[in-house]
Each structure stands twice: as structure tokens, then as C-alpha cells.
Amino acid sequence: MSGRYGPRYWWPADSKFEIMVGAILTQNTTWKNVERALHNLKRAGALDPDSILAAHHKRLASWLRPSGYFNVKSKRLRSFCGWLVKNGGVGELQRMQTPALRNALLSVYGVGRETADDILLYAFDRPVFVIDAYTRRIFSRLGLIQGNEDYDVIRHLFESKMGKRLSDYKEYHALIVVHGRTVCRPTPCCEECCIRKLCAFRGTTS
DNA sequence: ACCCAGGGTCATA
DNA sequence: TATGACCATGGG
């Protein structure tokens, strides 16, 4: 698919921290709305852990408002920044082994498995495959998984079958999300259109 | 008016 | 382990 569609412009950001913030803000939310929230943070000069920790909840929530769930995301972003600072920042955390770093991320309030893996893959450059709703939907349609397996079961399946190239992990997830948007939700509206849209994935998965 | 989006937490059984 | 309620904005 990379050959056919070329590299997607994926997870644009000026810093590792911006990627991490984006990973939390994009939870069940369109990227367009996340960009607005990120823009608010930048415009306020608050796109850094210290500024976020220093801001009052009311103000932080107002910056995050466009990304939805602004009250819970304010708390989640706060807890994440607290963890980041407490552990010496990105540079220090980068020294950890991937499994330990993943467990550390999962211990943070507001960081679940998918968010943790987004951060591991796109901010810490670790070869971890991100499983999202699109991955389940597309690959269950292809008959390669049932779809309701545990997150880590599907993750290990992908990681065992696709080698270890970091760029492949980043690119494949990007392609899945970009194309997953065009695939019908759980109940196919029609077999024809779904099969046509899924054609792009055949050959890369067989 | 309805459905959905690049999820996670918490209570409950 | 496995559901369900809840969070909330913006676009189709």
C-alpha cells in the first residue's frame, strides 16, 4: 500500500511533546478538532508540561474545548504532564526499555493501551503496532481476525507477522486509519462498496 | 434529528 | 472478564 499510495503525511508536530498531547486529545475525536485545541495551546504559549501544569483547570479546559471531553481531557493531560516531569522528561524516559516504558505509560491516568502505543510509536520511536477500531473493523472484514479479541492479542499478531521496521509500523497504522474512514461501520451497508474499498488491503495481508 | 470520530475510566455483575 | 454509562465538540 505504501507503494500504491505513498507515505501519508502522518502525525505532523513540531515536538515530541506535541505528539504526546495529540495522542491524548485525539481519543475518540477527529484530528481536525484536535488541531484546533493544539492551536489554542500554541497561541497561548502553553504547549509544554510546565505551562499546562501551571494553568488552572478552567483555562486549560477552555483551550481544549474544541477537542471535546474537555473536562476529562484536562485532567488526563495534567496527569500525563505530571508523570512526564516527575520522570525527568522525554530524554530520560527514552532510556527505558520498551516493555517497561509501556507499563509506565499505562500507569498514567488517562493513558490506555492505544494512547500508550501511539506515544511509544510516534514519539518514542518504538516498534509497537497500534490497534484501533479501524484495524479491528478492516481485518475482521477480511476474515483475518474475529474482531473482538483482546487488544494485546491482536497487537502481538501484527507484530509477529510484519517484521520490525519502525517505518513500517508507523506507515501501516497511518494507512489503516486513512482508509478505515471510508469503510462501512459494523453492519455493512452493502457488500459491493465494502469489498471494493477493502481491495487495497489485499496482497499486503495474504 | 441523527450518527460518528485516530478511547479511557469507573461501577457493576 | 465483560458489559454499560459517561464524557462533549464539530462535521456529515
A72: Cβ under 7 Å from strand B?
yes
**pLDDT of A167-194, one tens digit each?**
999 999 999 998 888 876 655 445 555 5
Name the domain count of chain A: 2
Task: Tell me if A90 sits within 8 A of A17, measured CB to CB.
Answer: yes
Does residue A2 fall inside a structural domain? no
**pLDDT of A153-171, one tens digit each?**
999 999 999 999 999 999 9
What is the spatial distance, in angstroms and rounded to an integer, between the CA atom of A152 and the C1' atom of B7? 15
Q: Which nucleotides of B are covered by protein (CB under 7 A)?
A: 3-10
* Among candidate residues A123, A148, A175, the one where a domain is terminated: A123
CB-contacts to strand C (7 A): A 28-30, 32-33, 36, 65-66, 68-73, 148, 150
Q: Which residue places its CA closest to the C1' of nucleotide B6?
A: A26
Q: Which nucleotides of C are covered by protein (CB under 7 A)?
A: 2-3, 7-11
Min mean pLDDT across A128-132, A158-162, A193-197 is at: A193-197
Quick one: pLDDT at residue A50? 98
Average pLDDT, chain A: 90
Does residue A66 fall inside a structural domain? yes
**Domain membership of residue A85 as a residue range:** 9-123
Residue A68, Ramachandran bin (φ over 0: left; ψ between -120 and 50: alpha; else beta): left
Amino acid identity of A135? Answer: T
Same domain, A98 and A189: no
